[in-house]
Amino acid sequence: MFRARAPVRSMATLARQKLSIGLIPADGIGKEVIPAARTAIEAVGSDIPKTEFIDLEAGWETFLRVGNALPDRTVEILKNDCNCALFGSVSSPSRKVAGYSSPIVALRKVLDLYANVRPVLSVSPNPDTPPAVDLIVVRENTECLYVKQEELKITENGKEARATRLITELASRRIGKMAFDLALARPREHLTVIHKSNVLSVTDGLFRETVRSVAELDAKYKDVTIAEQLVDSAVYRLFREPQIYDVMVAPNLYGDILSDAAAALVGSLGVVPSVNAGDSFVMGEPVHGSAPDIEGKNIANPVASIRSAALMLRHMDYIKAADRIDAAVDSVVREKQYLTPDLGGSAKTSEVVDAIVKRI
């Protein structure tokens, strides 16, 4: 079976006799797809330790209710009582709201989840045929423009807005190491560094140079082929010839855009998973948004959240459980009987979940 590989840094040392998973549905369809992921995890039974699920709050709706999008209790329980988590989706407003900031961005920072790993994998009609798209976007998760340092002032020419973009050697080196480890574990052993250093020579220049230096400083990466691509041409080539890419590593904003664009190659954002990973914690997260237009209609695609659960388990070295979940999803997608509207079908969320669980 062809499978986009998850991070190769084993987190088996984190596994306990009881696996404690924090569940943070947050907003919109997150409240439908995270329970679907839980159901899939429960279906693997003895292939993982005895599991407890802890329901936690975060998101825009939580902010409206309690005045804080990421309550202290949620952070404390994740740090002290959980060794992994699943996050749903956030309905962050597009305008500035006093006191509000994105809880997923905050969680990535407070838990030091410095890598967002997003495999994009198509399902071939024949299980023995290589997928047309099989790549991984490795997105730096803690800095770039997502430090959210903005200012607005009035000048003689009217309003002037500025944003600070932060790129550090530390963050670039560790995301580079994560990307090289991933590339080393895949058959092609190929890594593409995404940047725009022809314009942003200082910030993107630092990112580019630091990532490349990872291989120069560690001989174990000597067989990894390193390529580079400017971010704008990378998007173009992603649509024209996705097969040239294997592992792509990028600063935060570029990685966000590239992985969403890549989702179009496999049919929908509703099938693309991710994990937010650090050295001591991992949190699965479907790539899609909160989709308020379909909330509560039982038509949200649960595949991305279920694959995110598998990716989370794989990262923690529960390979057999992850393989069972992924194989079940592949089977359902391949058969095409139970597809949600985003994939051209008419199945309900609950029907897709039932079909996947039956195959698990």
Whether residues 167 and 287 fall in one domain: no
Shared domain for 223 and 138, answered yes or no, is yes
Is pLDDT at 351 greater than 80 in this prediction? yes
The mean pLDDT of 104-122, rounded to a whole number, is: 94
Which residue segment(s) compose the domain that 125 sits in?
114-277
- The rounded mean pLDDT for the chain is 92
Please write the tens of the pLDDT for every residue from 140-169. 999 999 888 889 999 999 999 999 999 999
Q: Are residues 252 and 205 in the same domain?
A: yes
Q: Tell me: pLDDT of 207 over 50.
A: yes
Q: Which of 277, 306, 329 is the last residue of a domain?
A: 277
Region 57-80 average pLDDT = 96
CATH of the domain at 295: 3.40.718.10
Residues 221 and 360 both lie in one domain:
no
Residues 138 and 182 in one domain: yes
Please check the confidence at residue 11 and state whether its pLDDT lies above 60: no
The C-alpha angle 107, 113, 117, rounded to 5 degrees, equals 115
Looking at the structure, tell me whether residues 232 and 253 fall in a common domain: yes
Backbone angle region of 207, left / alpha / beta, with phi > 0 → left and psi within -120 to 50 → alpha:
alpha
Backbone angles phi, psi at 268, to 5 degrees: -175, 150
Residues 79 and 25 in one domain: yes
**Residue numbers annotated as active site:** 146, 196, 232, 256, 260
Please name the residue ranges forming H helices in the chain. Answer: 30-43, 60-66, 72-81, 103-110, 169-184, 203-217, 231-240, 252-263, 303-315, 319-335, 349-359
Of 262, 277, 292, the residue at which a domain comes to its end is 277
Q: Are residues 265 and 293 part of one domain?
A: no
Number of domains in the chain: 2
- The residue among 255, 262, 267 whose CA lies nearest residue 238 is 262
Neighbouring residues of 357: CB distance < 8 A, sequence distance ≥ 6:
39, 40, 43, 328
Q: Are residues 267 and 118 in the same domain?
A: yes
Query: Is the pLDDT confidence value at 248 over 70?
Result: yes
Q: Name which of 163, 169, 175, 145 is nearest 250 in CA terms.
A: 175
Q: Single out the residue in 277, 294, 327 at which a domain terminates.
A: 277
